[in-house]
Amino acid sequence: MSTEIRPFRIEIATADLDDLNDRLDRARWPRELPGEGWSRGVPGAFLRELARYWRQEYDWRGHEARLNEFPQFMTEIDGQDIHFLHVRSAEPGALPLVLTHGWPNSFLEFTELVDRLTDPGAYGGDPARAFHVVVPSLPGFGFSAPPRGTGWTAARVARIWVELMRRLGYERYGAQGGDFGAYVAPEVAKAAPDDVVGVYVISGLGFPSEKDLPEMTEDERAAYARLMEQDWMNGVDHHGLLRAAPQTFTYGWHDSPVAALAWMIQKFHEFNASGRPLDEVIDRDLFLTNVSLYWFTGTFGTSAWPYYESTGFGWPEGQTVAPTGVYSGPPGIRRLAERHNTILHWPEDNPGGHHFIAMDQPDHLAADIRAFFAKVG
């Protein structure tokens, strides 16, 4: 097995850009279904306007150049080509930190966060709390190769991350993750307990389930009720859909940019807990760059493996081999999280917002990551 680390640049062929534009020009638009707002799915006017902007005003080449400002690499681990960003801080003593993105996102999830972690002084933070940042693309996401065969789990991904950090020469580091990354980051600590100094997750630890209700307080039951009312708990069941028939839906997402765009809008809308319109929470160009990455890499289907490899939904549990910190405690319950974690950092006053908080609140997230790892030492 080769252990070579190869430089990588994003270079989407002009023919692929022309093909996308041609498909957008020839979009076949359906009739509107009855119902107001989002009651039947993505509103037609919203989708048409974003598709128009994607076709006529969005500048892929400009964003491609911006992404290529980050040092990017490829290396083969476990038979997989793994794409990753590796941005070293100029600060002496910076702590290495591996960030794991979620679905339906990509390494792009952290592009607004990287500089805030590697150069905190430029953003009003303590330069002594800087990080060397590693952002791998999950197998089957973006430029990482799709999994070969079945049998993939968060633990298997974590073992790849451990080997990647070893290959980069890091013997002491932190692990961070949200969404699917909240399952992977604790597994990194389990796989390398002598190397991982702390695990930081966005949210999801200590989330109550129905079986916890008998022992919950009145306030906790109220929080549970609010949790169950959230759009992301009651929208399109992507867990069930992608477990049951991901190949069937992939044909549409892979062939039609409008279908792909509508699917992404649907999920990012449901994942928006800010109370504000989606386009006020996540920058439109940032969102479209993520959609474009999925489109150009053909990964709408290959990124579905965390779901069709699962047998059902369960909240992340965490681990006990390293201290744990979270960005957002509620609606998680700390004492429930402490069944499986050594909680060192559990704030309840961080600003909420979108599920992908790094795209919505990068300043607050970076500051909280620094606060947690300062406690770790």
Encode pLDDT of 83-102 as tens digits.
999 999 999 999 999 999 99
> Strands 342-345, 173-177: parallel, antiparallel or unpaired by DSSP?
unpaired
Helix (H, G, I), strand (E, B) or coil at 100: strand
Pull the structure tokens for residue 16.
């692929």
pLDDT at 233 over 70: no
pLDDT digits (tens, 9 = 90+) for 246-270: 999 999 999 999 999 999 999 999 9
Asked if residue 28 belongs to a domain, the reply is no
Average pLDDT, the chain: 94
In a domain, 27, yes or no: no
* Residue 156 DSSP SS3: helix
Question: Could you tell me which residue, 140 or 211, shows the higher pLDDT?
Answer: 140
Catalytic residues: 179, 307, 355
Q: Residue 377 pLDDT more than 90?
A: no
Query: Is residue 293 included in any domain, yes or no?
Result: yes
CATH code of the domain containing 66:
3.40.50.1820
Please give the Cα distance from 188 to 190 (Å, whole number). 5
Provide the domain count of the chain. Answer: 1
Structural domain for 304, as ranges: 5-22+41-376
- Cβ neighbors of 75 (< 8 A, separation 6 or more) are 3, 4, 5, 6, 81, 82, 84, 164, 167
Q: Is the pLDDT of residue 2 over 90?
A: no
Smallest CA-to-CA distance from 189 within 327, 315, 347, 324 is with 324
Rounded Cα–Cα distance for residues 101 and 120 (Å): 21
pLDDT value at position 30? 94
Nearest-Å Rg of the Cα atoms of the chain is: 20
- At 191 the pLDDT is 98
**What is the arithmetic mean of pLDDT over 169-180?**
97
153, 229, 241, 251, 313 from 238: Cα distances, Å: 18, 17, 5, 16, 11
Beta bridge partners of 86: 134
Residue 194 lies in a domain: yes
Whether residue 190 lies inside any domain: the answer is yes
- Is residue 95 domain-resident? yes
pTM summary value: 0.95
* 36 assigned to some structural domain: no
Inside any domain, residue 338 = yes
The CA distance from 294 to 75, in Å, is 20
Residue 1 has pLDDT above 70, yes or no: no
Three-state secondary-structure class, residue 266: helix
Is pLDDT above 70 for 342?
Answer: yes
